[in-house]
Amino acid sequence: MSPRRALPLAAAALLALTACAPVVAVDAAPHATDPVCASVVLALPQQLSDALPRLKTDAQATTAWGRPDAAVVLRCGVEPLGPTTERCQSVSTPNGPTIDWVVVEESGDWRFTTYGRVPAVEVLVPEAVTAFSTTSFVDLLGPAVALTEQERTCL
């Protein structure tokens, strides 16, 4: 095979591989177009753990980690929470910010929503993920989430 012909074949093979990369379907949040959300998503880590590498998503201001069939999903621009009786947990990042999260368990799935931050950020952890990973990675999201404006804190 000539070198001229090998290059287009290699490029076609690479394109085919990247075209097959799994994409996680996610619904964009109502305020996903807030410019701060773009900064948040760009600042998020590529991995949350060895078991949770970053995945592609199909919606603005979102990202995911894990496997296509069991992914942690982050959405920026969800409706900010008002006063709540749900558990509010302050999570500190080592040598970094402290973020307040409202933590709700729903039938084995976990929902973490920032409290007192605009735009609000939501992290969904399905039960399928907790079968092979803990939720102790939430602190790794702190530096990116801290780009949102803090208006209130947990009591």
More confident residue, 22 or 92: 92
Q: Which long-range contacts (CB under 8 A, 24 or more apart) does 128-137 make?
A: 128/69, 128/70, 129/52, 129/66, 129/70, 129/71, 129/72, 131/70, 132/51, 132/70, 133/48, 133/49, 133/51, 133/52, 133/66, 135/110, 137/48, 137/49, 137/52, 137/72
The arithmetic mean of pLDDT across residues 45-56, rounded, is 95
The arithmetic mean of pLDDT across residues 7-16, rounded, is 43
pLDDT level of residue 23 (50, 70, 90 thresholds): very high
Contact 122, 81 (CB under 8 A): no
Give the pLDDT of residue 22: 84
The pTM assigned to this predicted structure is 0.85
pLDDT level of residue 82 (50, 70, 90 thresholds): very high
